[in-house]
Structure 1
Amino acid sequence: MRYTLLLHYQEMTPDELGAEVLEQGQAAMASYAATLQQAGVLLGAEVLQPSHASTTVSRREGKLRIQDGAFADTREQLGGYFVLDVADLDEAIHWAGQAPGADWGSVEIRPGAVHTVDGVWTPNA
């Protein structure tokens, strides 16, 4: 079963974090990704650019609305994600509990409904 671990945490610039903390965080995430890869559960992962680099699109009353930045007005933003293929929610919780991001924010676990590979949509099972 496919689960996406959504990493939410307070955004800080590299200067606000400090070089040492930034380096430690990057090393922790690289180690976590390597552990997931070695366990054979990692399907994909991505660190996202800060929310100010995002664009949010919605349609209201037939009109397209384009907004610079993230839609959520909160201190914590989506910073990255890991897509896992694991047996069940318990295993997803196990891996989420090991995510370094859980120490400085939160990890949302969301099951996939369908996924596509080479243009073929497949229900999550």
Structure 2
Amino acid sequence: MPQFLIAIHRPPGYNPVTAEDASMTQQIDDLNTAMRSAGIIVFVGGLMPPRSARSIRIHKNGEAIIKQGLYLNSSDHVDGFWVVETTNLDEALSWGQKAAIACRAAVEVRPFHSIS
């Protein structure tokens, strides 16, 4: 079965302590339970705040340099994600819609390359 990334995106300065209430936490827990019951979860995880990120860039001389911060200069960042295994893209998109509602956030659904 194909695998898909369902990624949650948050705006700069997002603070889960002030933004997430008990209702939202329960909706996310319920979504995780539903995904487990459906047998589609390969992996699920939330990420630490962007300030904890380190990025590694390759310089022209081939040296790999570690820097503090996100790799992409973007207004939003990935806050957490699921890797799911579903029968098709439509099913993954349906779970992505549920994730957007539960997390109250923008969601990206993207297929993985299939490995033979």
Pairwise TM-score range, normalised by the shorter structure: 0.7 to 0.9
Pick which of 56-65 and 99-108 moved more: 99-108
Q: As a proportion of its length, which structure holds more strand?
A: 1
| Identity percentage of aligned residues | 19
CA distance, structure 1, for counterparts of residue 38 and residue 99 of structure 2: 14
Matched, 1:3 2:4: yes
Name the CA shift for 1:104/1:72 in 2 (closer, same or farther; >3 Å). farther
TM-score under structure 2 normalisation? 0.84
Instruction: List structure 1 runs of 4+ shifted beyond 6 angstroms.
Output: none
Partner of 2:15: 13
- Is residue 54–residue 70 contact of structure 2 (8 Å, CA) maintained in 1? yes
Deviation at 1:4, TM superposition (A): 1.1
TM-score under structure 1 normalisation? 0.78
Deviation at 1:67, TM superposition (A): 1.5
How many residues are aligned here? 113
Partner of 1:33: 32
Structure 2 unaligned segments of length 5 or more: list them: none
RMSD of the TM alignment (CA)?
Answer: 2.0
